[in-house]
Amino acid sequence: MYAGDKGKLNPLNHILENLLAQDIASFEETLKSALEPQARHLTDTEHQIYKRGKKIRPVMLLLAARLLRGEEELSHKVIKASASLEMLHVATLIHDDIIDDALLRRGLSSVNAKRGTNAAILVGDLQFVQAIRTFVDAVETNSEMGLVKMVLDTAFKICTGELDELETNPNWNLVALRQRYFDVIERKTAILFGLACETGMALAKAHTGESRRIGFYGRRVGRAFQIMDDLFDFLQDEADSGKQVGIDLVRRRITLPIIYAMEELGASHPLSQIMRGDIQPPDDLSHVIMAIKGTQAIERSYADARYDALDALEYLKHFPQNRYRDALEEIALYTVDRKI
């Protein structure tokens, strides 16, 4: 079974409820305070995005800080940074849904579906601005001010990654498409995972080398996470994934399993014709999805994701073995062991 044990428990539940229970309570309170200035502009739709989130980025930030500080009480700036990065993540989700004209987000109506594109753009911008304001409040020293630039650089790279994804030409050769895919997910997804880990450890007073090392761990996990998310587009139903099945086909979004399937099925197959824009996606995508599943695309994509997850573990070996390192290892492995 290429996705590991289907019955494997989600380690995030244990981490949230036990290992980081007090830190997460502080995170929730800080996030609530950070959202308060926007209160009259937010609806239940936006609040549900926050409530239904996995909180994996703030969890990784907090674990990175605790990997260094152990059982010591974490400073308020670490907690504020965790809330800031969750807001930055939500901002990217709202903007992603606008770009994709997606109707669902985490099983509910997306902000743009509920409130329209214009309001969604502004609400997404609000999350981004408030995320930066919250992060600025977290820094206290001149050396920490460099982290603010890192956050802004990350936001810049996320935007360029999104633009490059939009401007990807499906008619490029498959080698070029695969390289573009990895370049895009590095900037669109992996970089925010890396930022979470790096800032968590930096704000816990780590040496620069240690912070960068844990940042590399985060990036590898982020790459694996995005590849798996792209696999779920074909392997999970709408109830599990919270979005329309086959949405990447509908939007002609080039993902790794699609690239591998196009390579195996050939240029004359309906999949390649859909992705090139030669024909419109059918209302019933089941035959195309079954064709993808009939290739080695799923297995090859999963192998790439697992390689990144295992590579992430290599970056943790530098740090002392403790329960926080164990938790980071579990997150990396669970990323590719999730039920599909």
Q: pLDDT confidence of 4, banded at 50, 70, 90?
A: very low
Write down the residue that tokens 């844990």 correspond to.
214
Distance CA(42)–CA(95), nearest Å, equals 16
Q: Is residue 196 part of a domain?
A: yes
Structural domain containing residue 33: 11-337
Strand partners, 209: none
Residue 1 lies in a domain: no
Higher pLDDT, 8 or 278: 278
Could you tell me the pTM of the whole model? 0.92
In DSSP terms, 104 is beta-bridged to: 109
State the Cα–Cα distance between residues 262 and 275, nearest whole angstrom: 9
Look up tokens 């007090």; give the residue: 22
Calculate mean pLDDT across residues 166-183.
95
Centre a 10 Å sphere on the Cβ of residue 322 and count the other Cβ atoms it contains. 12
- For the chain, the domain total comes to 1
Evaluate whether residue 156 is within a structural domain: yes
Judged against a pLDDT cut of 50, whether residue 3 lies above it is answered with no
pLDDT digits (tens, 9 = 90+) for 37-46: 999 999 999 9
Of 189, 128, 122, 127, give the one whose Cα is nearest residue 158. 189
175-183: long-range contacts, CB 8 A cutoff, minimum separation 24: 177/254, 177/259, 178/256, 178/259, 180/254, 181/254, 181/255, 181/256, 181/259, 182/223
Q: Is residue 326 part of a domain?
A: yes
Q: Which residue blocks in the chain are alpha helix, DSSP H?
A: 11-14, 21-35, 44-52, 56-69, 76-100, 111-115, 117-138, 142-166, 174-185, 191-203, 208-235, 238-241, 247-250, 256-265, 270-276, 286-293, 297-316, 323-337
| Cβ neighbours of residue 77 closer than 8 Å, sequence gap 6 or more | 138, 139, 140, 144, 203
**278: in domain:** yes
pLDDT score of 251 more than 80: yes
With tokens 């290892």, the residue in question is 329
pLDDT number for residue 53 = 86
Whether 5 maps to a domain, the answer reads: no
- Does the pLDDT of residue 271 top 80, yes or no? yes
- Please tell me the predicted confidence (pLDDT) of residue 245: 73
Confidence of residue 243 (pLDDT cuts 50, 70, 90): low
- Here the tokens at position 242 are 């919270």
As a whole number of angstroms, the distance between CA 13 and CA 185 comes to: 26
Mean pLDDT on 120-137? 94
DSSP string for 236-301: S-HHHHSS-TTHHHHTT---HHHHHHHHHH-TTSHHHHHHHTSSPPPS--HHHHHHHHTSSHHHHH
Instruction: Flag whether pLDDT at 6 surpasses 80.
Output: no
Least confident of 54-68, 105-119, 313-327: 105-119
Structure tokens at 335: 């990323």
Judge whether 2 lies within some domain: no
**Domain harbouring 238, CATH code:** 1.10.600.10
Residues 6+ apart with CB under 8 A from 113: 97, 102, 103, 104
- Whether 289 contacts 250, CB under 8 Å: no
How many CA within 13 A on the CB side of residue 299? 5
Q: Is residue 4 part of a domain?
A: no
